[in-house]
Each structure stands twice: as structure tokens, then as C-alpha cells.
Amino acid sequence: MKKIAVLTSGGDTPVMNAAIYSVVRMAKSKGMDVMGVLRGYSGLINGDLTELLPEQVEYISNQGGTILKSARCLEMLTDEGKQKAVQTLKDFGIEGLIVIGGDGSFKGARALTHMGVPAIGLPGTIDNDIAYTDYTLGFDTAVNTAAQEIAKIRTTMVSHDRICVVEIMGRHCGDMALHTGVAAEADFIIVPEVEFDLDAICEEIMARTARGRETSIIALSEGAGDSKEVADYIREKTGRDMKHVVLGYTQRGGEPTVFDRILAMKTGARAVELLEQGIGGRVVGVRNNEIVDDDIDEALAMELKFNYKLYEQYLAMTNY
């Protein structure tokens, strides 16, 4: 291939720029030109592309967000939208596409591959909700950010003998809340994968209070409930001074961790190598600390597996 394109789609992550850097620099090393698609599939459908040169991506790997912008595009779900996207790629002479995004973005890449355009997916989401890879691009940074925020919240909760429910992103996947809660030494972790009993949590809070432990942090996955509703329920049942915090978009921003940057470099390089060989319809990730690529249809069909062992180890360490 002589010309490829790269786009970022869906919710942004702190490490998308590092992936863009990797794609552009690796492609240029192999004599390929790279076009950047602005605002995801919307830009692809509307022909909003620009050439990316190596000097344009210098020093962006430590910057959060995406220089290409990102967006969700409902038009890409239609046959007409997909046809427009393919036509744009043909008009620009683009032979392959790298898509950085989540499972929804991967469905667009799969459709384009089936329509004759080799596409490769990189797992760009903080939620860690893509089954074929151990870690998605941005998950580590988001967990670090959330854990640091909980550490700050805890200091003020301790000062006032308060209990705080901290709502953490992740959609239907509890990985963000689990890893953040473990790292931040949360007193309770609530995730959608594990059945929980708020009344039992209330009883434990009162038992902790009787032992002189006035402050508790509850790490709540957004897929398991609403932080205000949980805080209100516990307040009503226990009479304790409750607060709730929604960390929100702080988890998507900021400087990416070194782990995330290196993962983005490795996966971006593999994506370019696959396209160089004319291979499309693959998604790149990491398993057992090794970079892997899988068939996109098979990857999208894989079932998410929650880390119950880590959850049980956390329970054992906090059960006193």
C-alpha cells in the first residue's frame, strides 16, 4: 500500500494522539502517505481529510485527546453512509484504513472491510469493554486519574467524618470501578457484574462506625447505579452524612500514562504492518503482555470476562 488513512471515533481517550503518532511515523518509515480523517466517520463520509506529515505529529504522544477530533456518526449505520465512506476513500486513493475507537467504531471498520476496503481496528476506549484485548488504549490512564481523584476526595471526607459514593465511568463494564477501587483502597466496590445488597452495605457501614471508622469510600460503576440515588438510600438507612461525586469527563482527559503510550505505539505499529501486507479485517490488542491481532468478526463476538479473582482478592483484603 502507498496511501492509508487513520481516524478516531466515538468517545475520546487520553492516548489517541499517541496512537496517531505511531501510525503516521511507522507508515512513513515504510514509504506510505497518511491521511487524517477529521471527526471520525462523519469526516470520512463528508470527505473531510488532511495529509498527516511526521513533523505534524511530533510530541503529541503525551497530549490527551485527539488532534483529529472525534464524533459519533449515526449516518455510518446506514447503507448510504457506508457507500459514501467507501467512495471518499476511493476518491482520495486510500488503500487501507486504521480506526481508533470502541466496539461501535469497530463495526464500521468491519463493514468497510466487507465492502473491499482493508480496515484495522485499535481499541480506543477507557472502558476496557472489548473482550479480545486485556487492556484498551486509555484504560490505564483513566484508572490512574480516577484513583488520584479518590485520594483527594478521601482527605476531605476524613476531615468531616463523611461517606462518599464516587461514580466511575465504564458503561456496562465494571473494570474501571474495580481497578480504580482496588488501587485507591475503596471500602466498597459496586460493579454490574456482581450482585450487591445496599442494605448489607448499610449494615457494614454502621458496624464500621461502631468500630470508630467514620469514613468510607464507595466506588460505584456507572453501569451499576446512580451515585446520588445510592448516597440518598444509605443516608436514609444509616443517618450518616453522605456525599456523592461523579468523576465524569476528567477520566477521559489529561496526560496519558507511560504504559498507555507504549501500548499505543506497539498496537499502532502492528496495524501499519498488517496494512503493508494488504491485510484488513483485523483488530490489534494485547494479551498476556504480547501484541496480538484477531479477526474483527471473531473479536466482536467474544464475551467480556470480568476479573472475579481480583474482586475476590479485594474482598479478602477489606473483610475486617
Residue 319 has pLDDT above 80, yes or no: no
Is residue 12 annotated as part of the catalytic site, yes or no? no
Q: Do domains 3-138+256-301 and 142-253 have the same CATH topology?
A: yes
Quote the pLDDT of residue 123.
Answer: 98
In the set 127, 187, 260, 294, the catalytic residue is: 127
Quote the pLDDT of residue 70.
Answer: 93
CATH number of 142-253: 3.40.50.460
Residue 87 has pLDDT above 90, yes or no: yes
Quote the pLDDT of residue 235.
Answer: 97
Cβ neighbours of residue 175 under 8 Å, at least 6 residues apart?
Answer: 127, 128, 129, 139, 306, 307
Which CATH number is correct for 3-138+256-301, 3.40.50.450, 3.10.20.30, 3.40.50.300, 3.40.50.1820? 3.40.50.450
Residue 320 has pLDDT above 80, yes or no: no
| 25-38 pLDDT per residue, tens | 999 999 999 999 99
As a whole number, the mean pLDDT across the chain is 96
Cβ neighbours of residue 85 under 8 Å, at least 6 residues apart?
Answer: 41, 44, 45, 76, 108, 112
| 233-287 pLDDT per residue, tens | 999 999 999 999 999 999 999 999 999 999 999 999 999 999 999 999 999 999 9
Residue 90 has pLDDT above 80, yes or no: yes
Domain boundaries, the chain: 3-138+256-301, 142-253
Please check whether residue 176 is in contact with residue 163, taking contact to mean a CB–CB distance below 8 angstroms: no
pTM of the model: 0.95
Mean pLDDT for 108-134 is: 97
Residue 109 has pLDDT above 70, yes or no: yes
The band of 72, judged by pLDDT with boundaries at 50, 70 and 90, is: confident
The band of 46, judged by pLDDT with boundaries at 50, 70 and 90, is: very high
Residue 182 has pLDDT above 70, yes or no: yes
Residue 318 has pLDDT above 90, yes or no: no
Residue 11 has pLDDT above 80, yes or no: yes
